[in-house]
Structure 1
């Protein structure tokens, strides 16, 4: 029997979990992401921007739902383009879209099990992984309930459970806190921080306070391009008392967008 070296058993590492260069992505015929440069590694990254900024289109491209129209996108060492075989990459991804489909008569457990099977998880690992993900989102008491009986917040938590069931190296969450009550949002922030220790997590949201509480850095998009990427404190420093917003972070966000739009209009 051959001894396995430490190098062979160590997890695969990449220069960046997500690396986009001059990335262009279409939403229908519209170029929703235009020339985006972005590099993300381990940690929790918040994605902010007004409606129509291109956030959801970017998330769909990172989830390999849609292919880039141009530029270069590399994720977990795999190039994402029209020729790539994405099955191996998808095993390392977790994705929660704004709206996700499910069979109404599935129980929560059956739904998460089904998603684990689609992600080609080893059969022997699925039962334990499903139970852990359900426990982590606080749905253990509802594991046997049919999906069609769940409230909006519970459905969202079931969606988060399927996204994390495979312990993804890259986790993409599009508006994950919609429908969650304040206590559930606090639990969710703690879960994000826990996952972000070992994974690259990108959270798209309109709630600036969630970014401040849970994220190590923040990305701001507008009209398909990158406006800002940096620490949360850097975003806060952009604003002042005269800027719109109910918190320092909201004032920094609104001030940043205002200055960007003024510069573009010149």
Structure 2
């Protein structure tokens, strides 16, 4: 694996504003930075998480403000260095697992000589080596999600964006996925959007909390846990911290 280029920050947003459609503001003046490591993106439904992920994936362009990825390189080169798993990803049911991940590697313009080994490695990392030659239509929902993770990591991306990646995974698979996240975060900037606070506590080095399109909090899982008390809702310190921050009245610099 080639070592990623060093940047001040892999992701840097300043006063970022994103509209959905022509009127609704989904992300409202967000300023944040993200470097290598695993960043958990939390927030209730409608908080703007998926819209932000889509902008980071270069699917959406900023309405206003600035967004710099990997130092602001040219778009085509940038997309070769990004891995992206949306909440719902299209796939060809008649493709085998290997064929689909190979196809995605081709779309990412990976050198042809590198593709077979990269595909095999990606499939092994998500625990599907024994199903690599099975057609996608024969797989369970959880397996399809793992195929989605495989295609996102096949190019060893420098920015990896995962939107609800554990949907459909059973508890044992989620544990293995957390281990994979920790491994990936060593060399890449990994952003994981999730509703599962316990996944953030277990695997993330940094937490970003959005509410109503605004940045409520960015810090470590320990700092998030410290924001709550026993009076707040939640079964764990980090869940209580999450509840406490979402319950905070609107304040300058908050939400």
TM-score, length basis structure 1:
0.92
Contact 2:3 2:187 in 1 (8 A): no
Does residue 18 of structure 1 match 2:11? yes
| Matched pairs, number | 252
Does residue 77 of structure 1 match 2:71? yes
Partner of 2:29: 35
Partner of 1:100: 89
Q: Give 1 or 2 for the bigger CA radius of gyration.
A: 1
> What are the equivalent positions in structure 2 for 1:247-266 lying under 5 Å apart?
247-259=236-248, 261=249, 263=251
Q: How far 1:12 sits from its partner (Å)?
A: 2.3
Q: How far 1:77 sits from its partner (Å)?
A: 1.1
| Distance in 1 of aligned mates of 2:213 and 2:4 | 34
Contact 2:142 2:167 in 1 (8 A): yes
What CA deviation, in whole Å up to 9, does each residue of 1:29-84 have, x standing for no partner? 211011110100000010000101000000000000111111000000116xxxxx
Counterpart secondary structure, 2:219: strand
Partner of 2:226: 237
TM-score, length basis structure 2:
0.96
Does residue 90 of structure 1 match 2:79? yes
Counterpart secondary structure, 2:124: helix
Contact 2:4 2:158 in 1 (8 A): no
Counterpart secondary structure, 1:168: coil
Q: Which runs of 5+ in 2 are unaligned?
A: none
| Distance in 2 of aligned mates of 1:114 and 1:25 | 31
> What are the equivalent positions in structure 2 for 1:160-175 lying under 5 Å apart?
160-175=149-164
Partner of 2:133: 144
| Distance in 2 of aligned mates of 1:263 and 1:249 | 22
| Distance in 1 of aligned mates of 2:229 and 2:3 | 47
